[in-house]
Structure 1
């Protein structure tokens, strides 16, 4: 049965394509029950690689169904047909992803950055308390709703933490995510605490929000790793980043995993506790987002590459195809209406 008919029977009117690959695609749809637009990810089991079906997909489905947080993309419904197709109906990030937003608008105002980062921290605190880790936090996977609230998406590399007989966390051993957002211990192939890895990625995200550029150049991973291990974080002179915020970023980007700040301390940090200064909490701000001059946004956009800019290619005006480690193309693992990153084979693995 065609997708249109399957979804129509469930009360959805199929819309435009948001991304498509060899075994999966993402489309918009209108839900008659919810009275709103949604994103539908459709996976064809007959075309998907075996390890995706045995490992990645079950984890994502189980974890998505268990999460309920205002700053995490909501899964409204997940169902499968006898023809081997999985349908994941999810919340649609109507304002697109954070990367595209920053590339268009430039560096974000401090108060707006604080608002978004507080929402991100709240979401990560929630999943970490459930012993769930994301392992692929990056601007492309952070969506914005109609009121410019942040929504964490793409749980394709997430997993539940396991513990050994003595109660110690079993460390992850394989690379997950994007090099530009990856912690040094992950890049070095050292067994790592995935919760601590998420914190590093959050530090990179906050830097990009406030500076409109990446903190490290991942075109030379060896050189980048050397800079990271020396705990060097260079802020652009053209950007006025508050001292308290620099301190928070510096503590998140600590190469010493034992000294890297934890999520509870992030939420209590003085910068995150700061009060908004007018426009960021105003009604106009929530409707229109931060205001940035065209010249400023164009200049900064040149310095905010995709985190996988050396492996990603655009397949359309608002979609990119991705490729798993077997070279089987498919759309973003979470319904992301603006971007679906493309990775080289072996870029991603999961333990």
Structure 2
């Protein structure tokens, strides 16, 4: 949701803050924050840059007006996000400095600023990453997900737009608005979820089909999509036709562009993570122990099955509105019918 360069983050004059209310400016000013430009807007709030006198640095402030949000969001998703942010303490997860709420119903969340923007914009501007670069960034992201999963917390909205970059281009996972603390039954098994969260191009096929699923395993599929984008600068599947996309995903058909010259180990990790059979999909510990995330080996031909050239790929530069702005969680569609599920 944050989209700003280091220069953009500096506070702007009040005359340039027409989109900000005086309420925000005055309240944040009392707390020592000098409000700046808008970084992004979502379904239930906006994120603005600001300068913190106390921290002596630029920050991002998520502003949510509870008076203009649905009850379901206020009673379920906002409390979950705040609770998750208060628990987070990991180098590859955006830091939360302060959270406060006003009597007027405004919630302000002060966070670390991703000064180099998000991963999607970075890849659009620089192209596909070399494997050594992608390996380091993916390792950071996977370690952040392991941290969450070890706490029985699923992110449920993993996508390149929610992965920010600091000044040194280190990964900073953000936006826990759809995260969910997981519960277990009497046998210790994760309680399955029926709620659709996320963007269609990134979510697992079982979610799109409305099949009750383990949100941790769904996070893993999203990691595979992100890794593919890192090394190919393409979307692995064309989501313009959801039913066709799910059919291709269930065939376990993945196209790797020949021009990228990916190693067998890299292709194998992507292939094992984008596994439609949830019983065979890797968990986060297996992802982190995969050979590709260890010291690299010499390039050898890939033995992983792949679709024919051009079968599944989609240009990363095509405008995809659902990638840019998150919609309210809703039951998944199954064979064209909407099924109402619990989150």
- TM-score bucket (shorter structure): 0.7 to 0.9
What's the secondary structure of 1:78's corresponding residue? Answer: strand
Post-superposition offset of 1:325 = 5.9
Post-superposition offset of 1:19 = 2.8
The verdict on how the C-alpha distance between 1:77 and 1:179 changes in structure 2, with shifts beyond 3 A counting, is: same
| Aligned partners of 2:118 and 2:160 also within 8 Å | yes
Post-superposition offset of 1:322 = 5.2
Q: Does 1:304 align with 2:308?
A: no
Match among 161, 185, 194 for residue 215 of structure 2: 194
Give 5+ residue unaligned stretches, structure 2. 1-21, 299-313, 331-337
The verdict on how the C-alpha distance between 1:223 and 1:20 changes in structure 2, with shifts beyond 3 A counting, is: closer
| Aligned partners of 2:198 and 2:326 also within 8 Å | no
Give the TM-score normalised by structure 2: 0.82
Deviation track 1:137-189 (CA, whole Å, cap 9, x = no partner) reads: 11111110000000111111100010122322110112111111111111111
Match among 48, 52, 56 for residue 73 of structure 2: 52
What's the Cα RMSD here?
2.4
Deviation track 1:45-98 (CA, whole Å, cap 9, x = no partner) reads: 111111111111010001111110000011110001111110000011000000
Give the TM-score normalised by structure 1: 0.80
Q: Does 1:13 align with 2:17?
A: no
Post-superposition offset of 1:311 = 4.3
Q: Distance in 2 between the 1:55 and 1:324 partners?
A: 12
Partner of 1:41: 62
Counting matched residue pairs gives 300
The verdict on how the C-alpha distance between 1:166 and 1:276 changes in structure 2, with shifts beyond 3 A counting, is: closer
What's the secondary structure of 1:86's corresponding residue? Answer: strand
| Aligned partners of 2:44 and 2:69 also within 8 Å | yes
| Aligned partners of 2:43 and 2:326 also within 8 Å | no
Post-superposition offset of 1:24 = 2.3
| Aligned partners of 2:195 and 2:329 also within 8 Å | no
Partner of 1:324: 328
| Aligned partners of 1:60 and 1:158 also within 8 Å | yes
Deviation track 1:114-152 (CA, whole Å, cap 9, x = no partner) reads: 011000010001000000000111111111000000011
- Deviation beyond 6 Å, 4+ runs, structure 1: none
| Aligned partners of 1:325 and 1:349 also within 8 Å | no
Match among 119, 126, 130 for residue 151 of structure 2: 130
- Structure with larger RCO (C-alpha < 8 A, sep 6+): 1
What's the secondary structure of 1:28's corresponding residue? Answer: strand
